[in-house]
A and B are shown apart, each in its own frame.
Chain A
Amino acid sequence: MLGLNGKDFLAWLFVLFLVAAAPILLNPFPEGSAFAQFNAGYPDLMQRFVIFGIFAIGFNILFGLTGYLSFGHAAFLGAGSYAGVWMLKLLTINVIPAIIMSTLVAGLFSLAIGYISLRRSGIYFSILTLAFAQMSFALAASVLTPITGGETGLQTQLGDPRILDAAATGGNIPAPSLFGLEMGHSWKVSVGDWLWTFNAGYYLCAFIMLIAFYIAIRIFRSPFGMMLKAVKSNNQRLGYTGINPRPYTLAAFVISGMYAGLAGGLMVSMDPLAGAERMQWTASGEVVLMTILGGIGTLIGPVLGAGLIKYSENIFSKINDNLLHTWFSFMPDGVENFMVTIVHPFVGKGWHLTLGLMFMLVVIFLPGGLVGGLSGLYKRLFRRGSHAQ
């Protein structure tokens, strides 16, 4: 189907199902129940899931296939974001030009950085990309303040030209929209105690993510993808056979840079603000974590990794002491306070600690990431089943 083999098509359908039903799947707990805190089915977080999914899918095309570990991919996300906001400011509040432009700008930017960085491989390549990304961050944060807004960030303003739009704004900055459908528009459906939010912006992101995922599968299965895997398994031998690997790695680098730019463009289409810190090395490191957590070189892994990290960032970081006290309130006073003290460092601002522990556990016990772990589990169960027969 669609030029995919049966297994890949199933994987694609699985992702299709996941993203289409996400507003329902991510809200398993009824409103007002004690566990409602863990619901993730609200537009902002769902948008982040798919946007960072795109980012991680693109990163995986480079890292998963060629083995080149880029520590500077956030620079492309940031470049895309700025390009997107400028389109929203100058051209039109419609998100389509913003998304296209951010992908193109990030593509050009990654072509320039990739051309230089790919002269080296291994750790030197990583360091070069890291250096370029930090330079971009420093430029965005201070030197290029007129273009990037510096540490204040770049936002849409009431007085922006928006040459394609009619001037009538009614005293408020128009919200990004798709031919008049505002990205923030939501349809809320309540079933019993459950409340599901179907958000226009989310479904636009999800639609684009499905296309991005489809393209990634095609790349993985193409002769080009084969060549990239050859680069990863033995770059030298490829050279000895008379093939110059650099055009292939550069192409992979630019493609993954464009994925990052696309993610940046979608981010500003959902929320029209670009801050310099999304170019910082921590943001670059995050996408590496996502890919490793989910499973390097697997198709679906990066999407799962992105989901897991964004979930802990947004859910664990919002648990405060007050909430902990209500959770443990059934215990005697001394025990309650003790439990709160124990759990406290792992939630709220300490969510990084929880993430770090999870990351350690995954790397130590599931070297293949979540996908590796799940498929191992599946195989073990399956084998046991066949033994029984």
Chain B
Amino acid sequence: MSSDKKPLNLSLTRRAVLKAGVATAAVGAAPMIIPSKAWGYANEPSGSTVTLGFNVPQSGAYADEGADELRAYELAVEHLNGEGDGGMMSTFSSKELKGNGILGRKVEYVTGDTQTKPDAARASARSMIEKDGAIMITGGSSSGVAVAVQALCQEAGVIFMAGLTHSNDTTGKDKKANGFRHFFNSYMSGAALAPILAANYGKDRRAYHLTADYNWGYTTEEAVRTSTEAMGWDTVAAVKTPLSQTDFSSYVAPVQASGADILVLNHYGANMVNSLTSAVEFGLRNAQSNGKNFEIVVPLYSRLMAKGAGENVKGIFGSTNWHWSLTDEGSKAFVKSFGTKYGFPPSQAAHTCYVQTLLYADACERAGTHDPCGVAAALEGFEFDGLGNGPTLYRAEDHQCFKDVLVVKGKENPSSDFDLLEIVEITPRDKVSYDASIFGGELGACNSG
């Protein structure tokens, strides 16, 4: 029956191979529609890596802080992946981190430039979430940016670990369930500074405020005003200055004629460097007013700013979240590994960003998941130590960390380029705590995408 038929040709022709190949490819590549909720949560890592998004200012008034933040993030990633000396992982009171990434997944990161503008920062964060699959966004050196990006993360269903942002709003009226802040805030600065100012400059002073014109400036001015007025100071005037301002002489010129004898610079980063320099050029530091020495106060201080302003910072009071000269084990370990890698000590911005990355990783480990809701639950009410600020609480009601605040002063005789600030007092945590409801705002519910 089959003998009269042609024998079956088993040799493969080019056409047959092509056909088979196309058919296989078609089957293998059949489109797979993934509904947006197929995953348990937004950007759930599926492979052996997990991506974090580091969104810092690389241009604008806060670029120096941004660069230092990025160094700290890179260091934290190294330590989480088990490279380097481990830094604060060994001094951290929680021992979940083992140097094998987060939940066994190697940590990778993407970076972006916020340009210190809310619009640009959100665009950058969105591309990290949508394109690179970042599961956590961290960074920001401006509260305007932090508030904007925090709202975006809430919407997108990822965790936001705020970097350097000092406005009350971040965990006050604009707080969000997916957002967490380790850095201190304006209220705490005011509460810690006021007694020191009263002790040094007396209780009948007249203050003139120059304030950066955005949410951080507002809350800082308000906090310093409230706490100093409570001691008996007068506020002569409060003038707002644009964040992009670089020449402050027109703002400084009318200060002395106003009858003030204290100038409060609610400025940060390059703004503060420029306004302080202006004030010194106008001779305010040697001036007499109302029969007293004219004084300048900078509520939020950092080593980077002190370096930028040079000689001018000597003797000027301010507050800071952390300083590299602290001698607890955590701070020493961090300064050592940062110094080894980069050759100079870290700033407070670097410190808070490093700590936030570790805290996030640790919360993932303790929750056993990257799910933002799980991570948020693990961070809420978390009490820890060994990260440079002494015992610290992540308050559940507003996702704000409570810890000691440092009051610092520009050093009169600095021994090196980095030894520019001296710690005047460490204000204990209970002196700077406040009721979570005083700033209004609602956390809302956690969102996992």
B59 an interface residue at 8 Å Cβ cutoff?
yes
Question: Which residue of A has the minimal Cβ distance to B144?
Answer: A152
Chain B residues within an 8 Å CB radius of A42:
127, 130-131
Q: Which residues of A contact B31 (CB under 8 A)?
A: 189-191
Of the candidates B28, B127, B169, the one having the most CB atoms from chain A within 10 angstroms of its own CB is B127
The distance from the CB of B402 to the nearest CB of chain A, in whole angstroms, is 24
Q: Which of A171, A190, A192 contacts B445 (CB 8 A)?
A: A171
Contact of A318 with B213 in the complex, beta carbons under 8 Å: no
Q: Interface with A: B111-119, B375-383, B406-414, which one? A: B111-119
B119 to A44, Cβ gap below 8 A? no
- Chain A min CB distance to B85 (Å): 20
Which residue of chain B has the shortest Cβ distance to A318 in the bound complex?
Answer: B112
CB of A372 within 8 Å of the partner chain: no
* Cβ–Cβ < 8 Å partners of B215 in chain A: 150, 152
| CB-defined contacts of B151 to chain A, threshold 8 Å | 155, 173, 273
Q: In angstroms, how far is the closest chain B Cβ from the Cβ of A312?
A: 13
A171 CA to B59 CA in the complex, in Å? Answer: 35
A271 and B126 form a contact (CB under 8 A): yes
Q: Are A191 and B445 closer than 8 Å at their CB atoms?
A: no
Q: Is the CB of B442 within 8 A of A158?
A: yes
Interface centre among A175, A274, A348, A349 (most CB of B within 10 A): A349
Q: What's the nearest-Cβ distance from chain B to residue A44, in Å?
A: 4
Contact of B118 among A43, A145, A189, A273 (CB under 8 A): A273
Given A142-B213, A187-B33, CB of A278 within 8 Å of CB of B119:
yes
User: Are B119's CB and A172's CB within 8 A?
Assistant: no
Complex contacts, A236 vs chain B, CB 8 Å: none
Contact B36 A187 (CB under 8 A): yes
- Tell me if B427 counts as interface (CB < 8 A to partner A): no
Nearest CB on A from B160, distance (A): 14
B 41-65 binary contact with A (CB < 8 Å = 1; else 0): 0000000000000000011000000
In the complex, per-residue mask of A143-160: 1 if CB is within 8 Å of any chain B CB, else 0: 001000011110100110
List, in ascending order, chain B residues with CB within 8 A of A274's CB: 119
Q: Is B28's CB under 8 angstroms from A318's CB?
A: no
Return chain A residues, CB-CB under 8 Å to B33.
Answer: 187-189
Q: Is B29 within 8 A of A271, CB to CB?
A: no
Are the C-beta atoms of B110 and A349 separated by less than 8 Å? no
Q: Is the interface of A mostly helix, strand, loop or mixed?
A: mixed
Contact between B130 and A191, CB atoms less than 8 A apart: no
Contact of A172 among B120, B126, B152, B444 (CB under 8 A): B444
Instruction: Give the residue of A152, A184, A197, A273 whose beta carbon is less than 8 angstroms from that of B122.
Output: A273
Q: Is the CB of B144 within 8 A of A153?
A: yes
Nearest residue in B to A192 (C-beta to C-beta)?
B29
> Does A275 belong to the interface (CB within 8 Å)?
yes
User: Is there a chain A Cβ closer than 8 Å to B35's Cβ?
Assistant: yes
Which of A39, A158, A172 is within 8 Å of B447, CB to CB?
A: A172
Pairwise interchain contact A173-B59, C-beta atoms closer than 8 A: no
A138 nearest CB neighbor, chain B only: B242
Contact present for B155 and A173 (CB under 8 Å): yes
Number of interface residues of A (CB under 8 A): 44
Task: With both chains docked as a complex, state the minimum distance between the C-beta of B157 and any C-beta of chain A, in angstroms.
Answer: 10
Chain B window 215-248, contacts with chain A (Cβ cutoff 8 Å), 1 for yes, 0 for no: 1000000000000000000000000101100000
Q: Are A44 and B123 touching (Cβ within 8 A)?
A: yes
Interface string of B72-109 (1 = CB under 8 A from A): 00000000000000000000000000000000000000
Kindly state the separation between the CA atoms of A43 and B129 in the bound complex, as whole angstroms: 10
- Return chain B residues, CB-CB under 8 Å to A48: 123
Known: A141-B213, A184-B156, A349-B58. A317 touches B35 (CB 8 A): no
| Interface-centre pick from A151, A153, A172, A189 (highest chain B CB count, 10 A) | A151
B25 nearest in chain A by CB position? A192
B147 CB–A CB distance under 8 Å: yes
In the complex the two chains form, what is the Cα distance from A275 to B116 in whole Å? 11
Residue of A nearest to B149 (CB): A273
B18-39 CB mask vs A (1 if < 8 Å, else 0) is: 0000000100111111111000
Task: Give the distance to chain A from B193, nearest Cβ to Cβ, in Å.
Answer: 24
The reply on A185 being an interface residue by CB < 8 A is: yes
Chain A residues whose CB sits within 8 angstroms of the CB of B124 once the complex forms: 317-318
Q: Are B36 and A185 in contact (CB under 8 A)?
A: yes
| Cα-based distance from A175 to B156 in the complex (angstroms) | 10
Q: Is A6 positioned at the interface, with any CB of B under 8 Å from its CB?
A: no
Tell me whether B243 and A175 are in contact (CB under 8 A).
Answer: no
Write out, one digit per residue, whether chain A residues 28-54 have a CB within 8 A of any chain B CB (1) or not (0).
000000000001001111001000000
Question: Roughly how many angstroms separate A186 CA and B126 CA in the complex, as a whole number?
Answer: 14
Question: Is A235 engaged at the interface, CB distance under 8 Å to the other chain?
Answer: no
Bound CA span A142–B215, Å: 12
The reply on A334 being an interface residue by CB < 8 A is no
Interface check A170, CB cutoff 8 A: yes
Please measure, in the bound complex, the distance between the C-alpha atom of A185 and the C-alpha atom of B34, giving whole angstroms. 12
Instruction: Report whether B130 and A348 are in contact in the complex, using a CB–CB cutoff of 8 Å.
Output: no
A275→B130 contact, CB < 8 A: no
The 3 tightest CB contacts between A and B, nearest first, are A171-B445, A151-B214, A275-B119
Q: List 5 interface pairs A-B (beta carbons < 8 Å), by A numbering.
A: A150-B214, A155-B151, A187-B36, A318-B124, A322-B111
Additional A-B contact list (17), CB under 8 Å, known A189-B32, A191-B32, A271-B152: A42-B127, A44-B126, A48-B123, A150-B213, A150-B214, A151-B213, A151-B243, A153-B119, A158-B444, A172-B154, A187-B36, A189-B33, A191-B31, A273-B151, A320-B111, A322-B111, A348-B113
Q: List chain A positions with a Cβ less than 8 A from chain B.
A: 39, 42-45, 48, 141-142, 145, 150-153, 155, 158-159, 170-173, 175, 184-192, 197, 271, 273-275, 277-278, 314, 317-318, 320, 322, 348-349
B positions within 8 Å CB-CB of A? 25, 28-36, 58-59, 110-113, 117-120, 122-124, 126-127, 130-131, 143-144, 147-148, 151-152, 154-156, 169, 177, 213-215, 240, 242-243, 442, 444-445, 447
